[in-house]
Structure formats: C-alpha cells, structure tokens
Structure 1
Amino acid sequence: MKTLVLFLLAAAASARPIAFTNARLYTISRGIIAHGAMVVDNNKILEVDEAGRVRIPPGAEVRDLGGKVLFPGIVDTHSHIGLAQVGNQDVNESSGPSQPILRALDAILMTDATVRAAVAGGVTTANIMPGSGNVMGGQTAYVKLRGRTIEDGLIFKTGLQGGMKMANGENPKGYASRDQAPKTRMAVAALQRRLFVRALEYKRKLASPQPPDRDLELEPIVEILDGQRTVHFHTHRADDIMTVLRLADEFHFKVVLQHVTEGYKVADEIARRRVPVSFIVIDSPGGKLEAADYSPANGAIMEKAGIKLAIHSDDWIVSSRFLFREAGLAVRDGMSEEGALRALTLNPAEMLGLGDRIGSLEPGKDADFLVLSGDPLSVYTHVLETWIDGERVFDRSRLPDRLYQTGGAGVAGRYPVEVVKQ
C-alpha cells in the first residue's frame, strides 16, 4: 500500500529572516511599489520598501521573485468554511429561532477541504459564522486558516473570539413551516428587539446589590450592548437593511451589514450612519427572491456614497477561491481598483477590529501575504503561495495543494492527510 507523504507547509516559522526581492508590492496602505522588497522575520513583517532602501539582515534567506506580486492575505468577513462539509452541515441550529449561546468555533473542522481551498485562493483570515436561519444565530469566530484544530487558528485565544451573527428577511422566517414564530418580517424584528430589551434589563440588574443568576444567553447580547462584540447582520432587501439600521439606532450596537444586495437603493442612509458593508458579488441571483433586484453596480454606488466596503464569499455561495474574481467583477461595473483591492484586505480587517495586525503590507504587521503570478484582478493570475504568520501554508508547485486550488471537494478523499512533516 502506497503512502502519500505530503510536505508540512505549515511548519515552524523560519529560524532566519526571509527577504523577498525583485517584487511588485501591493501594500494597500501605501499604494504599489513597482520594484520593491520585503523582509519577514519569524511571524512579522520587518521591512517593506523600494528595493534599494530595504536592509537585508545578515544571514537572511533571499528569494528573488522575478517580478511577481506580493499582496496582503485576503480577509473574508463572511464565511462558513469548516462548518458546511459535503454530506454534513453545522451551520444552522433549528431547535429555536434565537441562539446567542452557540459558538461557531465548537463546530469548525480546520482540516476540511473547504478550509484548504480557501487558503489556496489566498484567504488567510476568515470570520466563520453560523448561518442565517435564526434571528440571532450565534457567535462568530475570527480565524487564521492554519493548523489542525480551531485552537491553532483562533486569533483571540481567550475572551471574546468573534462577533454575533444576526439575520432578517426570508431566511429566519423558516420556522413558519413548523407553525412557530417568526413567520413574518414583523416577527423577526420583534424577536430581535425583545432580545435587546431583555439584555438591557439583565445588564441593569447586574449592577444592583443583588445581581441575578448568570444567564448564558443574555451575556453575549450584553457584550454587544457594551460595544465589545460586533453584530454581523445578514440582510438583502432595502427595507430589511433599514430595519437593521433602526435597531442599531435604537440599541447603539456596532454592526457590519452583510450581503446588502439592495444597498445601492439606500446607500445614503448607510453612509450617513457610517455603517460598514460587507457585500457579495454574484454572477446571478439564482432562485433567491431577495436577490432578484441585484445590481452589478452595487459596489460602485456604495463606494461613491463613501461607505467602507468589504467583499466576501459566503462560502459555499461563492467559493473562497474566487474572491479576486469577485473584486474584478466589481471593478468591471464601476468600482475603483484601489477600492476593490482594499475591500479584500484592509477594510475587512478593520471591520473585524484587526486593522492593526493584518490587511496590508506594513512593518510590524503579521506576516500574512500572498505571492501572485500577476495582476490581482486578472483572470489569468494564480495564487502561487500563501503565507500566514511567516509560514508557507500553500504552494501551488506541489500537486496536492494545486488540486485544492483547481479541483472539487473530492480532493479531500484523494489526499486525506492534511499536514505531514517536511
């Protein structure tokens, strides 16, 4: 019986610095450096500058990229990778419409093919979330896509490890088939308001001389009210978007609008409140009625209104491997190239509260970056390498990795061993 030995791409960080020279750098924060170099030391970026200005440390490994592109790792603000596998899903808990106690991290399979495919597409950090079948679906997890277990990938090892997933529109109305609320948009909004009102009352009682018993369902909602936890709100239609904005106005919580198919219709309202938007670029609305009035110019219109934008996959709705293609489609329909590339990197990092660590090529930031074969927005460009915290976790030159980039879910059956020492 033949044993396929894979190389450990997620090995321990290099014992010596690595200098990437002769590269075209898309820094995002400082524009494009046409002839530049970058030095990585352990898990951090040490220097980024024009080639002649970068000091290469003695003993450093030097890699001449031959004019290839260095680009920050993609940050996907809306993903379900590791939760939804072939033949299994842990995305939506259907035992009741309100599930604030649930944690996505308790169901994420880091060795799943969906995670490997995302890395092959250049995603280094993802906001992995429960689904949109509930009015409050559970706690999200901010994850770097490395290692075998969720403990390896969690960005925050203790305390709050992500945001909160909420949803309105058609999806949470699914309980109607069981003759259970919510059956209408009115009921969805009413249940959400009731949760926040209950949490406010619980918070008030916590400050009293005789605090109440601990309530695990209300605790994470109090964290939302205290500004510690961001709400990631699934919403499509313009009227549903306005419902989210009313709730945020009333209860003063931080929110990232997710999907926002009809954002172009209420862009002025979103911009006036300075609420960030994470949107999806789809080829066609398919059978989803809420997306029937989708406009390819959605991103361009919201960008023109001054809204901070991110582009996400909602994997499996769009494969994480195609986020650069999404950005290219947004540019085709009027979004600026700079805005689209920022929507894959620094903007989503800031939406997750991680802008000081990831999302751009800057000294002191985590060494999360990609080596690309060419222009990020070109359909001919491939992700050649993906690095997370200074460790190479994807290399297109290796057959198993390349198949995760080009093949389907069946790749996992052919290459079940995820990580083997080099």
Structure 2
Amino acid sequence: MRRTLSAALVGVVAAAGALSAQEQPHAFRGATLLPIAGQPIQNGVLVVQGGKITAIGGADTPIPAGAVVHDATGKTIMPGLVDTHSHIGGGDGGDRSSPMHPSVRILDAIDARDDGIQKAQAGGITTVNVMPGSGLLMSGQTVYLKLRDGNDIYDLAYCRDVLRDICGGMKMANGTNPRGEPPHPGTRARAASMMRERFVRAQEYRDKARRAGGLDKVTPRDLEMEGLVEVLDGRRTVHFHTHRADDILTALRLAQEFGFRIVLHHVSEAWKVADDIARSGAASSIIVVDAPGGKLEAIDTRYENGVALERAGAPVAFHTDDGITDSRWFLRQAGLGVRAGMSRERALEAMTIAGARMLGLQDRVGTLERGKDADFVVLSGDPFSVYTRVEQTWVEGSKVFDFGDANDRMYAVGGFGVFGDGAAHAHEGEEGH
C-alpha cells in the first residue's frame, strides 16, 4: 500500500498471501455507506479489488478470503468527490493576443506534481475538471483528471491517448472578465457577436471536413477550427463561465443556436432564471462563496442558488474554482446548500454523480456501485457536519490520502507555507523532494 493505515482505520489482514497491493482485495466494514445510487447502508461492507468496486451491501456481504479488512465502524464512506471546476496543477490557457484560443490545451501546462493536487486529495476530491481562466471569450480546452498519485499528465488524464483522444471540454466566458480593448470585445453585445462569428466559421470548416472525408483529411489543418468542430459535434462539452442573469441567457442562446452541450459555471444569479435554465436542459456547476467581496457582477449571488435549481428541476453540481474556494473545504459547499434549503439527497448528488454526468464520466465514477472505479472517501462522520473531516481518500483502490500520516496531515491542515515552490510532495516510495 502507498501509506500506512491510520490508527482510526486499523487494517487486519485476514489471510497472508502473495497478492500484490493492487490485486489484493480490500474490505471496509462497519461504516455508514452512502452509495448515492441508493439509500444509505448502516453497518455496511464495501469490497474493492483491481481498482474496481466488487461488492457493496449490508453486514452480511461476503468478504473474499485473503482480503485486507478495515474496521470502519463509526465512519462514513461515500464516493470520491467530483470537482467540476478547478485550477489546480499550475496550468494556464490562452493569452491576451486574441480573445479566443480554442486550440490551447491546458493539459500541456499541467504540473502533475503540483501541491494543489495533494490538497485536493486531502479534501476528498478524486475527479476534477481543470480549467483555463475566464479572462478570454474562449481560453482553451479543459482537462479531466483522476487524482491518482502521478508524475506526469499521462498518469492523471482520463483519456488513454492525450494526443488523439478528447480529454476535456472547452472553456468559454462572458460578462466582465473577457471584456477589454480591441482585439477584445468592449461590450457584452460584441462579445456574443464574436462568439457567433467564430462558430459560423467552425460550421463551414466542418462542412469542408465532411467533403474531405474527415477532420484529419483537411489541409492545411486549422487547430482552432478542429477544437470548435468537436464542440459542434457534441464530443467536447462547453464549460461556460457566466454570472449575471442576462449573461446566463446569452450563453443559453448560443448553445441553442449552435447545438452544443453546455454546462453553466458559477451562475451567481441562477435564482433569477432557474426556470429558464431548467427548460433549456442545461446543467449548472455552482459555487458557494462564504465571504463577501469579489466582482460586482456576482453581487446578487445567493446561497439559495442550489435549492432554486433543484426546485426548477435543473441538474446542479458544486465546484471549488480553487483557489477561490480551497479544495480541502469542498464538502462545505454542499453543507451551505443544505442550510439554504437544498435537500440532502440532491446536495450529495451535487458533490458526486451530478458532476460526473456533466463531465460524461458517470459510467465510471460518482456512485458506489459494483463495477465502478474504486474511488471513495472515508469521513469521520456525517458529510454535512462542520466537525467532520476527511480521514482517507482512495482512488482506484489505492490510498492517496491518509489523515493519520504526518506528511498527508500537513496538506490537510497546513497554511500557505505548506504549498508552493519548495514544499514537500510525497509520492509512492518517496519521502518528498
């Protein structure tokens, strides 16, 4: 195993064997299980092996011979958290030379050894959508990461082949952030016009590609157009930064006109247009900022955004926008949503399966079900209690965070001095460097 077991979760080897840590089954018994796909299971049993969940059920669930058995009595186990909008990894996107850079890939700028990744693991996050910034109308392509312990982007990216597969979505933005002097739009109306012009060009390029027999047959290649054709074809989801009600509706009009899949991000004024969002079928990834300040266009944000979207019947997930909200306190987002009136069930979904659906990863993560990736979090208590902490985080059956480990605990409770250049970063078989 990557780290020693904490004192709170004492592992008992049921039978010694020659199985490797990856192949040896692990069974967690005695915890309250929150499958998300079904009702909570008291005194439950969760079995994982080969990176997958192999069994989940009540106390009578069989435990394989030779399994490492963890006594999780008094704990809560839920799926690994899915953060639909983050900026960990030290990456960046397009620059100010142009208002749109749809060919830019943030995966080319991600540092897989960035301390923010361990900070996210300490918060129970196992899947994350890492985004370029929102200073441009189109800042580039996002990347979906599985927060394994890794040395490079190949260890973390969801796609098997980062050269050929689609590894994420497309980041777009409207409102205050992308405005500016030419060549950037000076007004909201001009911003929408420029986006429409670019998508019309992409439609024409798609027609050209079809006549040529495919995108790979077009010469000369246009990388910007290729990225936008992937959006038009529904193979790349648009993740759209937007705050004000009028900006939200503009984003929805663009999605309707060009037929692309959209996830609305932040949507500070979602409570004003929740029914419009629901009618459009769009999903919303929201943030709960628990301190005043920030940009003027977000002044009307409310804790009730989550409950407004829930009541309207619109899909909703939470995100950190780390470092706007520290990844270690991600669960607090849902807790504040419940405090404002959101149902417990929808709030739990908003941390897990709802976000997985927005990233198109629902077949692998987001619930505790047999056959899904063994991504889960061991909590000291109820997920919405302010007294609860993340005790362990597991990704594909491997432990990536343990509060009982002194080095890991540093990432869970340390201040700014823990992170940044020169901070220790523990990897398997390493003490840090």
How far apart are the structure 2 equivalents of 1:287 and 1:228?
A: 34
RMSD: 1.7
CA contact (8 A) 1:13 1:42 kept: no
**Structure 1's 171 and 63: CA in aligned 2 closer, same or farther, altered over 3 A?**
same
User: CA offsets, 1:49-86, max 9 Å, x none?
Assistant: 0111x1111111111112211110000000000126xx
Q: 2:317 is matched with which residue?
A: 310
Shift of the alpha carbon at 1:407? Answer: 1.1
* Residue of structure 1 in register with 2:197 after alignment: 194
CA contact (8 A) 2:4 2:405 kept: no
Query: In 1, distance between residues paired with 2:234 and 2:256?
Result: 13
Quote the offset at 1:284 in angstroms: 3.5
Given that residues 133 and 167 in structure 1 are in contact (C-alpha distance below 8 angstroms), is that contact kept between their aligned partners in structure 2? yes
Q: After the TM superposition, which of the residue ranges 122-131 and 180-189 deviates more from structure 2?
A: 180-189
TM-score normalised by the chain length of structure 2: 0.90
1:86-125 pair list within 5 angstroms: 90-91=92-93, 93-125=95-127
2:338 aligned with 1:331: yes
Among all aligned residue pairs of Structure 1 and Structure 2, give the percentage whose two residues are the same amino acid: 51
- Corresponding position: 1:168 with 2:174: yes
Give the residue type in structure 2 aligned to 1:123: I
Cα deviation, residue 416, structure 1: 2.0
- Measured against aligned partners, the alpha-carbon deviations of 1:118-150 in whole angstroms (never above 9, x if no partner) come to 110000010001010111110010001121211
Structure 1 residue 19: Cα displacement: 0.8
In structure 2, C-alpha distance between the alignment counterparts of 1:133 and 1:397, rounded to whole Å: 40
Determine if contact 2:132/2:139 at 8 Å carries over to the other structure: yes
1:31-110 aligned within 5 A: 31-52=39-60, 54-83=61-90, 90-91=92-93, 93-110=95-112
CA distance in 2, matches of 1:123, 1:114: 11
Q: 2: CA distance between counterparts of 1:417 and 1:376? A: 27
SS at match of 1:218: helix
Tell me if structure 2 keeps the 8 A contact 1:92–1:132: no
Residues 3, 402 of structure 2: 8 Å contact kept: no
Q: What TM-score comes out, normalization by structure 1 length?
A: 0.93
Name the counterpart of 1:240: 247
Given the alignment, which residue of 343, 363, 367 partners 2:370? 363
Q: What is the alpha-carbon distance in structure 2 between the residues aligned to residue 8 and residue 167 of structure 1?
A: 44
Q: How does 1:256-275 map to 2 (within 5 A)?
A: 256-275=263-282
Q: Deviations over 1:141-170 (max 9, x none)?
A: 000112121110011122100010000000
2:158 paired with 1:155: yes
Question: In 1, Cα distance between the equivalents of 2:342 and 2:293?
Answer: 23
Partner Cα distance (2:4, 2:358) in 1: 32
Shift of 1:8: 8.8
Residue pair 2:43, 2:73 contacting (<8 A) in 1 also = no
For structure 1, the residue ranges without an aligned partner over 5 or more in a row are 1-5, 85-89
Q: 1: CA distance between counterparts of 2:428 and 2:256?
A: 51
In structure 2, distance between residues paired with 1:295 and 1:420: 42
Distance 1:417 1:249 in 2: 45
Deviation at 1:13, TM superposition (A): 4.5
Alignment match of 1:296 (pick from 298, 303, 307)? 303
1:348 aligns with 2:355: yes
Q: 1:83 to 1:49 in 2, by over 3 A?
A: same
Residue 182 (structure 1) aligns with: 185
| Matched residue, 2:429 | 421
> SS at 2:306's partner residue?
helix
Deviations 1:316-375 (A, max 9, x none): 111111111111111101111111111000000011111110001000000000110000
SS at match of 1:14: coil
Residue in structure 1 matching 2:418, options 411, 418, 422:
411
Residues 93 and 139 of structure 2 are in contact (CA less than 8 Å); yes or no, is this contact kept in structure 1?
Answer: no
Shift of 1:285: 4.4
Structure 2 residue 226 is the aligned partner of structure 1 residue 219 = yes
Give SS of 1:325's match.
helix
Deviation at 1:396, TM superposition (A): 0.3
What amino acid does structure 2 have at the position aligned with 1:25? L
Between Structure 1 and Structure 2, how many residues are aligned? 406
Taking structure 1 as reference, are residues 416 and 286 closer, same or farther at Cα in structure 2, changes over 3 Å only?
Answer: same
Deviation at 1:114, TM superposition (A): 1.1
Inter-CA distance 108–209: structure 2 relative to 1 (3 Å threshold): closer
Task: Quote the residue 1:87 is aligned against.
Answer: none
CA deviation after TM superposition for structure 1 residue 214, in Å: 1.5
Cα deviation per residue 1:176-232 (whole Å; 9 max; x = unaligned)?
2xx432111112111111110000001111222595521111001001111111000
Kept in 1, the 8 Å contact 2:138–2:173? The answer is yes
Distance 1:107 1:373 in 2: 35
Match of 1:26 in 2: 34
8 Å contact from structure 2 (residues 274, 309) kept in 1: yes
In the alignment, is the contact (CA less than 8 A) between 2:115 and 2:425 conserved in 1? no
Q: Distance in 1 between matches of 2:357 and 2:267?
A: 18
After superposition, give the CA deviation of every residue in 1:286-329 in whole Å (9 maximum; x if it has no partner). 13111111112111111100011100000011111111111111
The answer to whether the 8 Å contact 1:139/1:164 transfers is: yes
- Alignment CA distance shift 1:13-1:421 (3 Å): same
**Which letter does structure 2 place at the counterpart of 1:190?**
S
Aligned equivalents of 1:254, 1:216: Cα separation in 2 = 20
Q: Distance in 1 between the 2:426 and 2:417 partners? A: 14
Residue in 1 that maps onto 2:11: none
8 Å CA contact 1:205, 1:212 repeated in 2: no
